[in-house]
């Protein structure tokens, strides 16, 4: 077995003796991969093809025991650790250069209790895994709009989704979580156990430990009335104004997105996507104004299984493409914002890029700002500028275009940022992801559960001890 140079927590390097590595391997049921090993290169790939991170070792954990072995190996040797859930973060926080990638992607079993209407899912599950199991019983909970996104990162940051108007964010449906902490303990966090940690897990991102499993409240979700209505780009101003009105006057059963994008045929369009989760006949009535505000180029709204809706956007965000984004929370869509969007989208450099609004949702907005660490409950939308392109030589042009749009639209924003949209390059600081009192509470929690900042490859809350 080889000696290994690894990156330390503070960014230096250390050499691990063969015996240390042998010991880690002996304690792990899953494979531990080093550069050159079979599977190392495919396993280290992240969803965002713009990133090329090379961990010194990848531990493919199969359960809590492997996670504990990794944490207990990394801590005494000061090894830098990145935790991988669905590896879908644009920032690439699922991996690191030279450290240990603690890979949970084999931990994706989902156990549904159809009687209690709950589900417990492994920390490496993606929403496609989760919805597949829960929908077999006609159940679901709020999850991301892309089946490839991990349940872990999404829930730990908050979790917007189609069902949030009725059931709140993903984190509002979290009942409990099993967490391996930096000091190598396995804790359960819930409304009755380790309540402070439970509060922090619902919006505080991956700062407090490795969540090995999540337990969610489920709800009955049958066919949904959902899809997209597409209008010519020339009518974008009217469409986005209509979207602004429509999205603020809907019942809890509806959630919406409004966007400027390019169709696969190369046509720039303005589009509104909706999900109505309730009695279909009532949904037809509620969505009628959207369908009669026309004539649209295409009206794809129809009754569909929830799993079909959950994978509807998958072709728009394929794994391995180059991605760069800016995002901000918004609580009002002004004419000024609409004009800036249209002006910039008229010169968009890539047909894969989109910009638009994801609505938080009525029930999500009704939760008190101090109930969970996700505290911007007054924001109505997450405004996304998601640039995507194929050729790495096009990176500079696309990044510059995104930054220019972000600069121009700043005066129209709420000032806050959704922590799951935060990158090192964000104009906002990490504090803007929280209300001031929430941030102070998160620092206190970090001091208690991770005083050495062992979990630092994330939107990082620095301990002060």
Residue ranges that bind ligand FAD, judged by CB under 6 A:
82-90, 93-94, 104, 123, 144-146, 149-150, 152-154, 156-161, 205-206, 210-211, 317, 420, 457-458
Q: Which residue lies nearer to ligand FAD by CB, 345 or 374? A: 374
State how far the Cα of 384 lies from the Cα of 382, in Å rounded to an integer: 6
CB of 18 to ligand FAD, least distance (A): 28
User: What Rg, from alpha-carbon coordinates, does the chain have?
Assistant: 22
Strands 57-60 and 100-103 turn out to be parallel
Residue with tokens 């999205």: 247
Show Cβ contacts of residue 332 under 8 Å, excluding neighbours closer than 6 positions: 244, 380
Whether the Cβ atoms of residue 301 and residue 274 lie closer than 8 Å to each other: yes
CB of 91 to ligand FAD, least distance (A): 8
Strands 224-232 and 298-299 turn out to be antiparallel
State how far the Cα of 355 lies from the Cα of 240, in Å rounded to an integer: 12
In angstroms, the first-to-last Cα distance of the chain is: 38
CB of 159 to ligand FAD, least distance (A): 5
Q: Which residue lies nearer to ligand FAD by CB, 127 or 233? A: 127
- Structure token pair of residue 426: 């964000």
Whether the Cβ atoms of residue 82 and residue 457 lie closer than 8 Å to each other: yes
State how far the Cα of 174 lies from the Cα of 55, in Å rounded to an integer: 31
Instruction: Answer positive or negative: Cα dihedral of 87, 89, 93, 98.
Output: positive
Residue ranges of the alpha helices (H) in 295-383?
306-312, 335-345, 362-366
Crossing angle of the two packed helices 18-27 and 64-74, in degrees rounded to 10: 160
Strands 110-113 and 100-103 turn out to be unpaired
Q: Which residue lies nearer to ligand FAD by CB, 250 or 309? A: 309
CB of 257 to ligand FAD, least distance (A): 9
State how far the Cα of 163 lies from the Cα of 146, in Å rounded to an integer: 13
CB of 22 to ligand FAD, least distance (A): 27
CB of 17 to ligand FAD, least distance (A): 27
Q: Which residue lies nearer to ligand FAD by CB, 152 or 259? A: 152
CB of 316 to ligand FAD, least distance (A): 8
Q: Which residue lies nearer to ligand FAD by CB, 296 or 406? A: 406
CB of 333 to ligand FAD, least distance (A): 19
Q: Which residue lies nearer to ligand FAD by CB, 20 or 167? A: 167
Residue with tokens 């009755």: 192
Whether the Cβ atoms of residue 343 and residue 396 lie closer than 8 Å to each other: no
CB closest to ligand FAD, residue no: 153
Closest to 57 in 3D by CA, of 97, 27, 88: 97
- Phi/psi at 423 (nearest 5 deg)? -135, 170
CB of 160 to ligand FAD, least distance (A): 4
Q: Which residue lies nearer to ligand FAD by CB, 43 or 458? A: 458
CB of 162 to ligand FAD, least distance (A): 8
- Structure token pair of residue 74: 């990394």
Look at the chain and count its residues.
465
Q: Which residue lies nearer to ligand FAD by CB, 118 or 359? A: 359
Q: Which residue lies nearer to ligand FAD by CB, 20 or 254? A: 254
- Structure token pair of residue 29: 């049921």
Residue ranges of the alpha helices (H) in 313-428?
335-345, 362-366, 395-409
CB of 143 to ligand FAD, least distance (A): 8
């Amino acid at each position: 077995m080889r000696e290994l140079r690894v990156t330390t927590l503070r960014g230096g390097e250390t050499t691990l003796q063969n015996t240390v590595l042998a010991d880690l391997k002996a304690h792990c049921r899953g494979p531990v991969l080093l550069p050159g090993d079979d599977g190392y290169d495919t396993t280290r790939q992240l969803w965002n093809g713009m990133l090329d991170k090379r961990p010194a070792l990848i531990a493919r954990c199969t359960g809590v025991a492997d996670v504990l072995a990794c944490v207990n190996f990394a801590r005494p040797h000061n090894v830098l650790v990145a935790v991988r859930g669905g590896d879908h973060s644009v920032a690439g926080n699922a991996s690191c250069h030279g450290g240990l990638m603690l890979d949970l992607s084999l931990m994706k079993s989902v156990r549904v209790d159809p009687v209690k209407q709950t589900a417990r899912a492994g920390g490496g599950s993606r929403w496609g895994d989760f919805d597949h199991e829960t929908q077999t019983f006609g159940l679901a909970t709020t999850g991301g709009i892309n089946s490839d996104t991990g349940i872990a990162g999404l829930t730990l940051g908050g979790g917007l989704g189609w069902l949030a108007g009725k059931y709140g964010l993903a984190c509002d449906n979290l009942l409990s979580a099993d967490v391996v902490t930096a000091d190598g303990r396995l804790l359960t966090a819930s409304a009755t156990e380790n309540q402070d940690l439970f509060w922090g897990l619902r919006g505080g991102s991956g700062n407090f430990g490795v969540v090995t499993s999540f337990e969610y409240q489920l709800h009955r979700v049958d066919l949904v009335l959902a899809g997209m209505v597409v209008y010519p780009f020339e009518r974008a101003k009217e469409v986005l104004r209509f979207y602004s009105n429509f999205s603020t006057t809907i019942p809890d059963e509806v959630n919406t997105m409004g966007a400027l994008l390019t169709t696969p045929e190369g046509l720039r369009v303005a589009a509104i996507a909706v999900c109505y989760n309730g009695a279909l006949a009532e949904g037809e009535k509620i969505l009628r104004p959207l369908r009669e505000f026309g004539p649209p180029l295409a009206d794809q709204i129809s009754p569909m299984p929830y799993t079909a809706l959950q994978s509807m956007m998958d072709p728009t965000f394929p794994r391995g493409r180059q991605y760069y984004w800016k995002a901000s929370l918004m609580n009002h869509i002004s004419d000024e914002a609409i004009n800036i969007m249209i002006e910039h989208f008229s010169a968009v450099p890539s047909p894969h890029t989109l910009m638009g609004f994801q609505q938080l949702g009525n029930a999500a907005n009704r939760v008190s700002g101090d109930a969970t660490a996700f505290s911007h409950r007054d924001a109505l939308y997450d405004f996304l500028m998601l640039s995507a392109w194929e050729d790495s030589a096009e990176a500079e042009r696309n990044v510059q275009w995104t930054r220019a749009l972000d600069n121009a639209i700043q005066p129209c924003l709420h000032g806050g940022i959704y922590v799951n949209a935060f990158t090192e390059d964000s104009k906002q600081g990490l504090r803007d992801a929280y209300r001031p009192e929430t941030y102070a509470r998160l620092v206190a929690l970090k001091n208690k559960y991770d005083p050495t900042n062992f979990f630092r490859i994330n939107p990082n809350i620095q301990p002060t001890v």
